[in-house]
């Protein structure tokens, strides 16, 4: 088997740089996600150090990273806990949709975009990044906070809503008719309903299927199952992230606790590839002209997300600090916004550069803002005592 020297060298340099960045940020209790994104921007097309050999590998790793991050998130909850919380926060999800789609739709109209572009930009400003937010909550040790179930419920409501939104957008972009759009939506919603029902009724059998005393076998089984379900979810017109989350929901008890520990190192490695890939996908030169508009839109939509989090966490009984934490962490945009742009952006249209600049701004500023609102205690490195 031939080994590519360029691939090994580029990956080695990237991992070393990411490792150094992670060490610096974690020393001060800051999430490394913003630095990962900046490294990707510098090493992408048009950056100071492009990665021609490693780019495809990183893109594949990014897809796996999304699956592992959402699998880990699902392992934190049971199906019963999730469905109860989800039903409770449907009103918050509706507020989230209206308040945060409006800035994008208005901006699209002011820029003279067509109906498809306006709907697309509305989606870009509406949907938070479940991948980055889940990593932030873990980095900042907030999984046990009162407002965290609210945040996760809104994220999952957005992800489920994408099962309806993305088929509609795809039909608009292709110039399809009303019947075609309705059929696509019906299929996606039906698949989600069946998946939740199966997870609720027979989810306990997933644990029996993947459980094994041997750690290697356990890891192979759970990741294999998660990738298969994620692929099925994508084929059905919904999100791979939703599929992986449902697998995590189906595993409960001591096995879920064990799996969280087993997959953590692999999850962190591929999650770094995901954040790096976002930066790699954005040529810096195309972002500069639309950066002022992107910054203005980021400020407005951050305000609407903070209002959303304030309202939603307040309904759950969180205090002012918890409401602010919920709003700031929801301000991060990421993977779905990139997917939306990929469906409809055409050469010469301002939609692609505007949306990518907007995502980059909030993928970096959002984590820093949520850390600034409530930083975790600084962890100092101490030498091991002499034996």
* Residue 383: inside a domain: no
* Residue 95: inside a domain: yes
**DSSP letter, residue 32:** S
Domain count for the chain: 1
* Residue 385: inside a domain: no
The CA distance from 119 to 104, in Å, is 8
Which of these, 200, 255, 198, 247, lies nearest to 226 by C-alpha position?
247
Answer for the pair 52, 58: CB distance below 8 angstroms, yes or no: no
CATH code, 81: 1.20.1530.20
Answer for the pair 7, 54: CB distance below 8 angstroms, yes or no: yes
* Residue 99: inside a domain: yes
Residues in Cβ contact with 119 at an 8 Å cutoff, skipping those fewer than 6 apart: 105, 108, 168, 169, 172
pTM of the model: 0.69
Answer for the pair 327, 309: CB distance below 8 angstroms, yes or no: yes
* Residue 382: inside a domain: no
The CA distance from 367 to 38, in Å, is 13
Answer for the pair 49, 109: CB distance below 8 angstroms, yes or no: no
Per-residue pLDDT 10s for the chain (387 aa) are: 556 788 888 888 888 888 887 787 766 656 677 777 778 777 776 666 777 777 778 888 888 887 887 788 777 766 666 667 667 888 998 999 999 999 999 999 998 888 888 888 999 999 998 777 877 887 777 877 878 888 888 887 887 777 677 767 767 776 665 566 666 667 666 666 666 666 666 666 777 778 888 888 888 998 998 899 888 877 766 667 667 877 887 777 788 888 888 888 888 888 888 778 877 776 777 778 888 999 999 999 999 999 999 999 888 888 888 899 999 999 988 767 776 776 676 666 788 788 878 888 888 888 888 888 877 655 544 544 443
Read off the tokens for 94.
């509706």
* Residue 386: inside a domain: no
Read off the tokens for 259.
């799996």
Strand (E) or helix (H) holding 33: helix 33-43
Q: Is 176 helix (H, G, I), strand (E, B) or coil?
A: coil
- Structural domain boundaries, residue 248: 8-140+148-373
Strand (E) or helix (H) holding 19: helix 5-27
Q: Within 10 A of 12 (CB to CB), how many other CB atoms are there?
A: 11
* Residue 387: inside a domain: no
* Residue 381: inside a domain: no
Residue for token pair 């994008």:
104
């Amino acid at each position: 088997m031939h080994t590519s020297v360029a691939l090994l060298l580029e990956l080695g340099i990237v991992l070393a740089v990411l490792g150094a960045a992670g060490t610096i940020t974690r020393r001060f209790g800051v999430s490394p996600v913003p630095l990962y994104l900046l490294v990707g921007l510098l090493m992408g097309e048009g950056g100071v150090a492009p990665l021609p050999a490693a780019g495809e590998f990183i893109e594949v790793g990014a897809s796996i990273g999304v699956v592992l991050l959402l699998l880990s998130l699902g392992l934190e909850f049971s199906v019963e806990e999730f469905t109860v919380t989800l039903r409770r926060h449907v009103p918050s999800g509706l507020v989230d949709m209206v308040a945060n789609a409006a800035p994008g739709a208005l901006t699209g109209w002011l820029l003279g975009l067509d109906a498809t572009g306006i709907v697309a930009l509305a989606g870009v400003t509406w949907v938070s990044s479940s991948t980055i937010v889940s990593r932030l909550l873990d980095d900042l040790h907030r999984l046990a906070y009162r407002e965290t179930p609210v945040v996760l419920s809104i994220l999952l409501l957005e992800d489920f809503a994408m099962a309806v939104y993305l088929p509609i957008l795809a039909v608009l972009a292709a110039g399809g008719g009303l019947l075609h759009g309705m059929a696509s939506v019906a299929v996606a919603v039906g698949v989600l309903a069946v998946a939740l029902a199966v997870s609720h009724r027979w989810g306990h059998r997933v644990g029996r299927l993947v459980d094994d005393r041997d750690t290697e076998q356990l890891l192979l089984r759970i990741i294999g199952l998660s990738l298969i379900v994620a692929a099925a979810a994508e084929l059905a017109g919904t999100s791979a992230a939703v599929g992986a989350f449902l697998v995590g929901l189906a595993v409960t008890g001591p096995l879920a606790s064990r799996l969280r520990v087993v997959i953590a190192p692999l999850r962190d490695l591929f999650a770094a590839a995901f954040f790096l890939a976002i930066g790699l996908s954005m040529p810096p030169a195309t972002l500069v002209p639309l950066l002022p508009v992107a910054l203005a839109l980021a400020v407005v939509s951050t305000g609407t997300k903070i209002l959303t989090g304030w309202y939603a966490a307040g309904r759950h009984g969180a205090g002012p600090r918890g409401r602010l934490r919920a709003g700031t962490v929801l301000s991060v945009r990421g993977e779905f916004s990139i997917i939306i742009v990929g469906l409809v952006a055409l050469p010469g249209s301002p939609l692609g550069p505007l949306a990518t600049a907007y995502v980059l701004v909030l993928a970096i500023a959002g984590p820093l803002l949520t850390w600034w609102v409530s930083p975790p205690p600084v962890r100092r490195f101490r030498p091991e005592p002499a034996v």
